[in-house]
Amino acid sequence: MSLVERGARLSAAIAGARHARPRDARRQHARPAATRLAVLEARLAGWVLPALLVVLWEYLSRIGVIAPNVLPAPSAIAQAGWAALKSGELLRNMWVSTLRAFAGLFVGGVIGLAFGIANGLSELSRRYTDTTLQMIRNVPHLALIPLVILWFGIDEEAKLFLVALGVFFPIYINTLHGVRTVDPQLIEMGRVYGMSPLTLFRRVILPGALPSIFVGLRFALGIMWLTLIVAETIAASSGLGYMAMQAREFLLVDVVVLAILIYALLGKLADVLTRWLEERCLQWHPAFQARRD
């Protein structure tokens, strides 16, 4: 249950962070130049420190303080990236990894959602399945890697299985929590106003559970990348993790760092995607209304 609590806290933190952000930016584009400059400053402020760090890193590498076999210079990584991009190897590996990640998310997510909804709605279903699911949850899914390799070898099924298993629980638990905590007064209202069970689910229960489901999705995304990195590093013949492991064999530190950075980039992309989805689906939520003027 601690995951649920953490989830609730996370969603509160997300909401808080949104408020704290300087969001007057959008509104003020018609203002005079001085204000526009201030807006630009507010937008770029967060990037100043990373940029300075990269410059410092490059400088320290050039004067030889950081050895290239420990951490290559940013320019060297960029060159490695460019080369990998030109050969098509990078894009192919990125594509393979992304596909794996989202296939696993889809399979695990749909199953988690289905169990969460079923167990949230039906006492009977919960009695019979919840204990089992909670028991499986206590097994760290990455501990299954040796077994999974025995079962599936290093084929796609292995990665799909691990990612799906990893994302299942956060989505299951948060969906269950969301469905069970929908305001009973609203459900009663829906019944009194003659909604059919299906309408009640579509218009009251599902939208009511949605904020919680999104919390589950955010957790799931983190677990998704983590699982995939580990799985690809240990058991794969393509993908970013494999690319990094190959590079290690040949002591290509720049490619290793490149792979790590691209993982970060993909993680960020998935986060942006969720945020976009969340904003579309939760427009009604006061935490999101402040954004739109």
Partner 1 sequence: MNAHTPLLADSSPTDLARAPHGLGVHVARLGHSFGAKRVLERIELDIPAGQFVAIVGKSGCGKSTLLRLVAGLDTPSTGRIDFDGPRDAAATRIMFQEPRLLPWERVLANVEVGLPASVKGEERHRRARAILAEVGLADRADDWPSVLSGGQRQRVALARALASGPRLLAFDEPLGALDALTRIEMQGLVERIWQQQRFTALFVTHDVSEALALADRVVLIDAGHVALDLAVELPRPRRRGSAELAALEGRILDTLFSS
**Which residues within the stretch 21-80 sit at the binding site for partner 1 (CB under 8 A)?**
none
CB 237 within 8 A of CB 154: yes
285 contributes a contact to partner 1 by CB under 8 A: yes
The interface mask with partner 1, positions 133-152, x = CB under 8 A, is: --------------------
By beta-carbon proximity to partner 1, the closer residue of 39 and 182 is 182
* 277 near partner 1 (CB under 8 A): no
d(CA 3, CA 133): 14
Measured CA to CA, the distance from residue 90 to residue 73 in angstroms comes to: 19
Looking at the Cβ atoms of 127 and 291, the one nearer to partner 1 is 291
Min separation Cβ 202 and partner 1, Å: 11
What secondary structure does DSSP assign to 185-237, as a single string?
HHHHHHHHTT--HHHHIIIIIHHHHHHHHHHHHHHHHHHHHHHHHHHHHHS-S
Least gap, CB of 12 to partner 1 (angstroms): 17
What CA–CA distance (Å, rounded) separates 70 from 72? Answer: 7
Between CA 29 and CA 286 the distance in angstroms is: 24
Q: Is 291 in the site for partner 1 (CB under 8 A)?
A: no
Over the window 172 to 211, marking each residue x when it contacts partner 1 by CB under 8 A and - when it does not, the resulting string is: -------------xx-xxx-xxxx-------xx--xx-x-
| Residue 286 contacts partner 1 per CB under 8 A | yes
107 versus 186: smaller Cβ distance to partner 1 = 186
250 binds partner 1 (CB under 8 A): no
Nearest residue to 121 via CA among 38, 178, 75, 66:
178
Whether 66 and 77 have beta carbons less than 8 Å apart is answered as no
In angstroms, what is the C-alpha Rg of the chain?
23
- Which lies closer to partner 1 via its Cβ, residue 76 or residue 186? 186
Site membership for partner 1, residue 289 (CB under 8 A): yes
CA distances 117 to 5, 176, 177, Å, are 19, 6, 9
Per-residue x/- mask for partner 1, residues 210 to 249, rule CB under 8 A?
x---------------------------------------
- Contacts with partner 1, residue ranges (CB under 8 A): 185-186, 188-190, 192-195, 203-204, 207-208, 210, 282-286, 289
